[in-house]
Amino acid sequence: MMLIPCPFCGHRNESEFAYGGPVKPDRPDPHAASDEDWVDWLTTVPNPLGPVEERWWHVKGCGTWLTIWRDTRTHCVVEGSGDAG
Amino acid sequence: MQNYSIVSLLRHAINGHATWAPAWRSPPLRESYDVVVIGAGGHGLATAYYLAKEFGITDVAVLERGWLGGGNVARNTVTVRSNYMRDASIPFYVKSVALYEGLSDELNFNLMHSKRTMIDVVQTFPKMRELRRRQLTMDIYGSTYERISTEEVRRRIPALTGGGPGARLPVIGGMVHTDAGVNRHDAVAWAYARGADARGVELHQQTPVTKLLRGGDGAVKGVETPRGIVRARKVAVAVSGHTTTLTETVGLRLPLRTMNLTAFVSEPVKPLVDVVVNCPDSGFYFSQSDKGEMVIGGAPDMGQSFRRDVKQHVFEDTVTAMLSLFPSFKKLKLLRQWGGHVDITPDASPIMDETDVPGLFVTAGWWGGYKAIPAGGLTLAHLIAKGEPHPLMAPFTLNRFRHLDYVMESGTTTAR
Amino acid sequence: MRDRRLASGGRIDRSRPLAFRFNGKGYRGFSGDTLASALLASNVRLTARSFKYHRPRGIVGSGPEEPATLVELEGCHASANRAATTVRLEDGMAARSVNCWPSPGLDLGAVSQLFAGLIPAGFYYKTFKWPGWRLYEPAIRRAAGLAGAPDAPPPDAPPPDGHFEAVHAHADVLVVGAGPAGLMAALVAGRAGRRVFLADERTEAGGSLLDRRMEIAGRPALEWVAESVAELTSMPNVTHLQDACVWAYREHNFLMVNERSPANPSMLERNWRVRAGKVILATGAIERGLVFPDNDRPGVMLASAAQAYVNRFAVKPGERAVVFANNDSAYAAAADLLASGVDVAAIVDSRDPVPDSARDLAGGIPVKGGSVVIGVRGRRSVKGAAVSKRDGQGASTIDCDLLLHSGGWSPAVHLFSQSRGSLRYDESLATFVPDEAAQACVSVGGASGELSLASALRTGAEAAAMITGTEMPDLPTTTGESYAITPLWRVDAPGAKGRAFLDIQNDVTVDDVHLALREGYENVEHVKRYTTGGMGLDQGKTGNINIIGTIALQKGVPLQDVGTTTFRPPYSPVSFGAIGGIREESVVLPYRHTPVTQWNLDRGAFMYEAGARWRRPGYFLRGDETFQETVNRECRAVRECVGVYDGSPLGKFELKGRDAGRFLDHVYTNLMSTLKPGQCRYGLMLTEDGLILDDGVAMRLGEHRWLVSTSTAHADAVHGHMEELLQTQFPDWSVHVTTVTSQWNNATVCGPRAREVMAALGTDIDLSPEELPFMRFADGHVAGLPARVVRVSFTGELSFEINVAPRHMRDLWEWIMEAGAPSGIEPVGSEASHVLRVEKGFLSLGHEVDGTVDAHDLGMSWIMSKRKADYVGKRSVELRRRGKAVRRELVGLLPADPNDQIPEGAPLTPGGEKRPSEGLVTACVWSVVLDRWVALALLENGKSRHGETVHVRLKNATVAATVGEPVFHDPDGLRMRS
Amino acid sequence: MSYNASFERLPISACFDLKGAENALVEWIGAEILPGFPTEANRRRSADGLSLDHVGPRHWLLHADIDREDELNAALRPHLAPAEVSIVRISDTMTTFRVAGADVAHVLAIGCPLDLHETAFPEDAVTFTEFFGQKALVRRCAGGFDVSVEQSYGDMMEDCLTRALR
């Protein structure tokens, strides 16, 4: 059970949140993107052995969708992609 | 290969078992092989074995970063079954179950395969409807699934004393899958390793692959390890959660996410349950090992993770669900718990294919891949050897995502 | 029976004798005893049989490290597989040895000793293959599994009275272990005003001080312990628990504490989930045994355990002892035994020379340096120790009834390792010690390899002072003891013959490890798995390091390179009940009620889970009706007169803002922004990969106010979807979302006579089809209650969905029943609703949507707006449809025999043959309008196959059915628009 | 009962959900009606029988006794509020349990993972968190805590609290 930093509430237990998955690039323009790019955006997410940027929804708290960097090896919440926590 | 039998055991007992040969050799690592398989887990070892046995390709090296059999094959709940829902999946798992059943003889290694039946304990009508759908589709492929009454469920699982008529989710019946069984996970890895070794495959432990290598033509040409470069025109990646870590070294992105799946065992007690018990509505399953431990699996943690750890709240959900149906387990004690990395695809079905990098094969997305080891190994070996997919693996190619043709085994159970 | 209790001393209360039974015989002990100490006091030596060979075993340790004597407690203390050393003795307790039958003295399973040579490690992998494992398995299963003898109470016997609790706690500093280091740390942190949580697994504080004769500040150490405990008790900021095992160290400094004897008498156990700012691990060290032949005989005991028995429990574990050691600590134990009247015949020390510091402690006991124990005389009880020089010279046997041994001390690094801290091998201590911490924790005292009392106090104080930023306190003086060790991983002197055990619980010997290595199982994890060493209930607390040493010795590599196996939770076994806490019976899963739930229950409604944790009525059985008759009656009421349905669980969200219409256009496949206030529209939401997320209704309440109504099951998913888009993709859009699911309940009055009911209820809303046509709503009053009436229909009949605040719902419901009585109103459950929607061919996400179909397949192309350039899922649906996959399309099926019911989910195959399916039946109901079974199905290219006969394949039959439109009633929708 | 604590289910009270910019809300509602906006996150301000909880970014809950609901509704005019401001009456959406007694902190900790110690959760604190697994609004009251959960979970919460107090 992690402690997740919510920008409004501060650190809260993971069980108050719903996992929102890794942050993808911005949604491509559906009229401009090729089929391949569209499918790639839909199905392929960053899966790093290290810090990953991801979203959580503070559904049982203030309702904020927040973004954190978390190291997938340690589960430490870190500053950014370069911080191996 | 030294033969294993009661007779050989007797013979070796005479001199205090000092004459047993190693189960596999430790040959020097060569510079080049026909095929390199990365990962000496269940799928990697099975692939190497079938390459040698079925297709005569014996110039094979299996490279393992740690110890062989140390991946998910070492940390699962050993359930083998074929009760899937779709035409795409069922025959694959039927084949896998059949291969498992013959494996102890074939590999001369007792996997302790115990075809002991799985009973699904059903607690909601939508789930019952879904399982009935499975039943009739499975029947097309010769996989067994029979509905039984609540009374029969309780007769066959005497410890199931919860879920009565007044319960939050009362038991409404069950489904019996007589093809299901359990076996000894370590033995599966060791038996395939020994079998592959005997046919000439080389097993190299403590040999991490740090990088895949591509030739000028774009095709794979080998791998890099701290022990040196190993060349091969065909490389198969069978490393479960670390698949993307490896494929990204050649710029290949795959639709996989790595997450953590956990399991736990109770203290050993005398035989109490002789079937695999699956409670899909409550979200847990278990079987009792030959040692007497309850081996219990539950819900996954959806977050990406390369850490083998247990989420307390997820674990508690599984435990309470179990206690609601098996209240006498309250006094039973947790003995050990652990996690393993699994990688999951957008449709939660596996990927077995040659990638866009010619000569580079992957077997991945095995979320619960233990039951698939024999068929996964056999079909991947077929693809590597013949260059065309085995009919059983055809639905699981990477191609399917090009048009978002998902093979959805889950996601069918929303309540009306 | 000989009483081995000392006349004075110890931590037992001689004024409180306790009677107990062990393997059917009566004994007595005292308050303060463990089961183990009471058995030793009663001179019970043979207390167990081993797992595999059924060798006789005795008590080896004094705490949770005990590998040999596991018992099953009976009666009100019922519990399986407990180490006798951790069972607090209680009056009337009844225990028996596990793993032997009928008793450890006469164990019929012991015949397996005769075959011992045949069953080395992993023997089962090599045999039992022919003719099949299933033949052997039942016998193996009966032999394995520790507790739970054949005549054990049935598994359905209820657990004893009482309940469990799991509770959250928060601490600035969690101190694990109340030995000298932990107490010191807790004192310093507590005095600094921090919130301290101190947990210790023993029944009283003091740790190793309880077992030894030490002095602190010139007085007996236990006086310091008592004063420290008293001071901690006086601090409101300190929570101090004994008999509380910290069993898991999880991510983000989240630790689990199993309190085994809470004060509340009705509570069996409690589990604390402690979130700690900092963790101080003062878990002490565990003595390991030495590895020599027959080191498992009853009477062979860890030196520290014997020391604990004389000092803590005032029990002489034997009359004449031999001590075998490779380090100094056993000398203090020998001295304590001597002082308690045990005749210590000799100290056999493998070191040569023996350090003077050790000899000084021996106090006249003969010391045999450079010597080892090469064997044990006596099978069911030690009768003597065979001793020789390490080279085998000078062999002799020393008579004794107690053989104590000490292989050195291993820091209890389990929790540190669970926290993902790394370990390093310390040559001077010959053990693994904590290296790099991975979380905010620090190891102190024995747990960090600081094995003297002075350094335990110092490191405990230092850690707490550093964490709290306070001054180091003055440390009291202590009696000193030195510690030096020269590792001896196994006795290999010539003449040392017989089984030398590494894991006593799982019967793993040196030969087993050698066999594993010989066969290629070289990694420490291979050895563990092949031999099962370290996989018992004690998790190898005393034996694992010896396995590592044995591997290192055999392979000729340093221990650091062998490494340890993974330390997995729990540190000690913990009952599932404690983990579950109060979540049992009715509150295992959450449940939700509407104000009508009790009314439903009062009328005998059959209730079941209906998505999103709502308990809803499936049908209202009346008299001796069959299920089908009930459903038919409810359906006919709706089709012929009127029915009422509680639609309260539907998800409802109020959207407000300038961009609300635009936003709805983005999340629904069809156009919503063109609605006028007072209008509503059925809509479909997709996920971005083009799968169906939900269907529901959007209502425009005002220029910038909307109400989105979702299906019950997907309300949370839709809420998350909308908020995610708004907060991450469109942060600039002005849309506020407020959940109002439980601000609006609704009763849906439906059927041709619905207007009569509405009129009888009385309303100020003009319900005429002209003023309030289909897909319109109006606010006003119904039966005098503020209400919103919506004209939507999920049954295909004229429907009025009356929405009121929940505080009015029960009244409204009863008034509807009253007002509707003359029209023959019936309450309608989910089963009838299902029939009614199938007759109309309306979509049910749980039936027709299975992760592959899209709106076109369902005949709903009209809902996929062509006017909108983009909406969630549009691109993906188009892309998917350009693929080659054959589409399965929704059709209606009429079984050739109108009385043939088709199981929902049944496959359609070509000709009904055993071939891959070409579709499946998604729903099949008895239609009250057609008086026959009708079905919906997804069929390959179904839309172009109307009129064809297809075949449902059942297990032993096929059902022929005619394909048609997926609608069986009022295809033009005239009735619901009436 | 072994804990020194008890609970009761309070009658319904008036509650309005306010969303939008603070100044826009003040402008629409009028500063004189509200008890003033709490400046910090998850804090409450009370005056004249009204209290305003700052429960999320640009999100407040206004509470009062139920007999003031109509009066407040007339003052807030939810259906007329400007586009930027969302005002929704949600009185019925929650049901509140008052838990009090010497052991209240322990009883709350059985259901709630949040640190409710006075150093972490002072007198004027209020927040959405978890209680027996469900979203819940927690705040202090005399001698204990008020815990509000989604109304449909009320029976289940009663069930849980009864068990917790054993």
Q: What is the pLDDT of residues C435-454, one digit of tens each?
A: 999 999 999 999 999 999 99
Output b/e per residue, C588-599; b: 16+ Cβ within 10 A.
bbbbbbbbbbeb
Interhelix angle B90-107/B125-140, nearest 10 degrees:
70
User: Which of B407, B348, B346 lies closest to C885, judged by CA?
Assistant: B407
Report which residue type is found at C4: R
pLDDT above 90 (res C357): no
Residue C855 belongs to a domain:
no
D116 and D80 within one domain: no
D132 and D70 within one domain: no
Query: Phi then psi for B163, rounded to 5 degrees?
Result: 65, 35
Tell me the CA distances in angstroms from B389 to B93, B350, B351, B399, one per residue in order: 16, 14, 12, 12
DSSP, res C911? G
Residue C534 belongs to a domain:
yes
Report which residue type is found at C478: T
pLDDT above 70 (res B336): yes
Residue C168 burial class via C-beta count within 10 angstroms: exposed 0-12, middle 13-18, buried 19 and up: buried
What mean pLDDT is predicted for residues C870-897?
95
- Per-domain residue ranges of chain B: 6-78+185-255+347-403, 115-179+257-344
D98 and D34 within one domain: no
Query: Which of B123, B190, B331 comes nearest C159 by C-beta?
Result: B331
What is the Cα–Cα distance from D122 to D103, expressed in whole angstroms? 18
How would you classify the pairing of strands D6-9 and D94-100?
antiparallel
By the 8 A CB rule, do C193 and C214 touch?
no
Omega within 30 of 0 (cis) for the link into C131: yes
Task: Give the chain C residue nearest A27 (alpha carbons).
Answer: C729
pLDDT band at B11 (very low <50, low <70, confident <90, very high): confident
**Residues in Cβ contact with C627 at an 8 Å cutoff, skipping those fewer than 6 apart:** C619, C621, C831
Give the SS3 label for residue B375: helix
pLDDT at C153: 43
How would you classify the pairing of strands B276-279 and C25-31?
unpaired
pLDDT at C408: 96
pLDDT at C146: 64
pLDDT band at C148 (very low <50, low <70, confident <90, very high): low
Question: D156–C734: do the CB atoms touch at under 8 Å?
Answer: no
Asked if C779 has any chain D CB less than 8 Å from its own CB, the reply is no
Question: What number of other Cβ atoms are within 10 A of residue C810's Cβ?
Answer: 17
Query: Which of B255, B304, B313 comes nearest A44 by C-beta?
Result: B255
Mind listing the pLDDT tens digit for each residue in C893-914?
999 999 999 999 999 999 999 9
Say which CATH number the domain at D53 has: 3.30.70.1520
Give the SS3 label for residue C559: helix
Mind listing the pLDDT tens digit for each residue in B21-35?
999 999 999 999 999
C142 and C1 within one domain: yes
Say which CATH number the domain at C503 has: 1.10.10.1100
From chain C, the residues in CB contact with A67 under 8 A are 728
Interhelix angle B90-107/B185-198, nearest 10 degrees:
70
By the 8 A CB rule, do B62 and B86 touch?
no
Question: D130–A15: do the CB atoms touch at under 8 Å?
Answer: yes
Q: What angle is formed at CA C636 by the lines to CA C631 and CA C637, rounded to 5 degrees?
A: 100
Asked if C723 has any chain D CB less than 8 Å from its own CB, the reply is no
Q: Which residue, of D68, D92, D116, is where some domain finishes? A: D92
C106 and C40 within one domain: yes
pLDDT at B410: 66
**Residues in Cβ contact with C937 at an 8 Å cutoff, skipping those fewer than 6 apart:** C890, C891, C892, C893, C908, C919, C920, C921, C922, C950, C963
Enumerate the β-bridge partners of residue B173: B122
- Token pair, residue D110, equals 């059985």
Residue D99 belongs to a domain:
yes
D83 and D103 within one domain: no
Distance from CA of A21 to the nearest CA of B (A): 7
Omega within 30 of 0 (cis) for the link into C570: yes
Mind listing the pLDDT tens digit for each residue in C654-685?
999 999 999 999 999 999 999 999 999 999 99
- To test the contact with chain C by mutation, choose from A57, A66, A70 the residue with the greatest count of C C-beta atoms within 10 A, namely A57
By the 8 A CB rule, do C17 and C29 touch?
yes
Distance from CA of B290 to the nearest CA of C (A): 5
pLDDT above 90 (res B136): yes
- To test the contact with chain C by mutation, choose from D86, D115, D117, D161 the residue with the greatest count of C C-beta atoms within 10 A, namely D86
Q: Which H or E element spans position B279?
A: strand B276-279
For chain A, domains (ranges, CATH) are 3-78 (3.30.2270.10)
- H helices of C435-523, in order, are 453-468, 510-518
Question: A20–C724: do the CB atoms touch at under 8 Å?
Answer: yes
Q: What is the pLDDT along chain A (85 residues), one digit of tens a residue?
A: 999 999 999 999 999 999 999 999 999 999 999 999 999 999 999 999 999 999 999 999 999 999 999 999 999 999 988 765 4
What is the Cα–Cα distance from C656 to C675, expressed in whole angstroms? 15
C975 and C898 within one domain: yes
pLDDT above 90 (res C354): yes
Question: D117–C195: do the CB atoms touch at under 8 Å?
Answer: yes
Q: Which residue, of C428, C455, C486, is where some domain finishes? A: C486
pLDDT at C76: 72
| Architecture (CATH level 2) of domain B115-179+257-344 | 2-Layer Sandwich (3.30)
Torsion of Cα atoms, C36 then C37 then C40 then C44, to 10°: -40
pLDDT band at C769 (very low <50, low <70, confident <90, very high): very high
pLDDT above 70 (res D1): no
Mind listing the pLDDT tens digit for each residue in C226-243?
999 999 999 999 999 999
Say which CATH number the domain at D107 has: 3.30.1360.120
What is the Cα–Cα distance from A53 to A2, expressed in whole angstroms? 16
Neighbours of chain A (3+ CB pairs under 8 A): B, C, D
pLDDT above 60 (res B415): no
Task: Give the chain C residue nearest B9 (alpha carbons).
Answer: C118
- To test the contact with chain B by mutation, choose from C589, C694, C922 the residue with the greatest count of B C-beta atoms within 10 A, namely C589
Tell me the CA distances in angstroms from C98 to B295, B334, C83, C296, C577, one per residue in order: 21, 18, 10, 17, 22
By the 8 A CB rule, do A75 and B379 touch?
no
What mean pLDDT is predicted for residues B276-294?
93
Domain that includes residue C930, residue range? 886-978
**Residues in Cβ contact with C497 at an 8 Å cutoff, skipping those fewer than 6 apart:** C293, C374, C375
Residue C567 belongs to a domain:
no
Mind listing the pLDDT tens digit for each residue in D60-110?
999 999 999 999 999 999 999 999 999 999 999 999 999 999 999 999 999
How would you classify the pairing of strands A18-22 and C396-399?
unpaired
Mind listing the pLDDT tens digit for each residue in C677-727?
999 999 999 999 999 999 999 999 999 999 999 999 999 999 999 999 999
pLDDT at C159: 47
Asked if C518 has any chain A CB less than 8 Å from its own CB, the reply is no
pLDDT at B164: 93
pLDDT at D31: 86
C17 and C138 within one domain: yes
Distance from CA of B366 to the nearest CA of C (A): 19
By the 8 A CB rule, do A68 and A77 touch?
yes
Tell me the CA distances in angstroms from C144 to B23, B270, C116, one per residue in order: 26, 7, 16
C760 and C637 within one domain: yes
Asked if D10 has any chain C CB less than 8 Å from its own CB, the reply is no
From chain A, the residues in CB contact with D133 under 8 A are 15
pLDDT at C50: 84
Mind listing the pLDDT tens digit for each residue in B63-101?
999 999 998 998 888 999 999 999 999 999 999 999 999
Domain that includes residue D148, residue range? 6-10+93-164
Residue D151 belongs to a domain:
yes
B228 Ramachandran zone, left/alpha/beta (phi>0; psi -120 to 50):
left
C460 and C414 within one domain: yes
Residue D1 belongs to a domain:
no
Rg (CA), chain D: 16
Tell me the CA distances in angstroms from C751 to C209, C639, C776, C975, C977, one per residue in order: 82, 6, 17, 9, 11
Q: Which H or E element spans position C550?
A: helix C544-555
pLDDT above 50 (res C854): yes
Query: Which of C714, C846, C880 comes nearest B404 by C-beta?
Result: C880
Average confidence score pLDDT of chain C: 93
What is the Cα–Cα distance from C613 to C211, expressed in whole angstroms? 54
Asked if A37 has any chain B CB less than 8 Å from its own CB, the reply is no
From chain C, the residues in CB contact with D159 under 8 A are 586-587
Q: What angle is formed at CA C264 by the lines to CA C260 and CA C270, rounded to 5 degrees?
A: 35
Mind listing the pLDDT tens digit for each residue in B147-175?
999 999 999 999 999 999 888 899 999 99
C295 and C281 within one domain: no
Say which CATH number the domain at C957 has: 2.40.30.110
How would you classify the pairing of strands C799-804 and C826-827?
unpaired
Residue C863 belongs to a domain:
no
Average confidence score pLDDT of chain B: 93
pLDDT at C114: 62
Q: Which residue, of D42, D60, D92, is where some domain finishes? A: D92
For chain D, the domain total comes to 2
For chain C, the domain total comes to 7
Question: What number of other Cβ atoms are within 10 A of residue C760's Cβ?
Answer: 18
Residue C864 belongs to a domain:
no
pLDDT above 70 (res D58): yes
C244 and C142 within one domain: no
Q: Which H or E element spans position D76?
A: helix D69-76
Q: Which residue, of C739, C763, C783, is where some domain finishes? A: C739
Distance from CA of C721 to the nearest CA of A (A): 10
Mind listing the pLDDT tens digit for each residue in B240-261?
999 999 999 999 999 999 999 8
pLDDT above 70 (res C145): no
Report the number of secondary-structure helices (H) and strands (E) in chain C.
25, 50
Those of residues 605-624 in C touching chain A at CB distance below 8 A are none
Residue C177 belongs to a domain:
yes
Residue C768 belongs to a domain:
yes
What is the Cα–Cα distance from C286 to C496, expressed in whole angstroms? 26
Q: Which residue, of D72, D92, D112, is where some domain finishes? A: D92
Q: How many residues does chain D have?
A: 166
By the 8 A CB rule, do C431 and C349 touch?
no
pLDDT band at C152 (very low <50, low <70, confident <90, very high): very low
pLDDT at B340: 87
Question: C586–D159: do the CB atoms touch at under 8 Å?
Answer: yes
pLDDT above 50 (res B267): yes
pLDDT band at C111 (very low <50, low <70, confident <90, very high): low
pTM: 0.95
pLDDT at C151: 38
pLDDT above 80 (res C117): no
D63 and D107 within one domain: no
Task: Give the chain B residue nearest A22 (alpha carbons).
Answer: B304
Task: Give the chain C residue nearest D13 (alpha carbons).
Answer: C807
By the 8 A CB rule, do C429 and C449 touch?
yes
CATH classification code of B6-78+185-255+347-403: 3.50.50.60
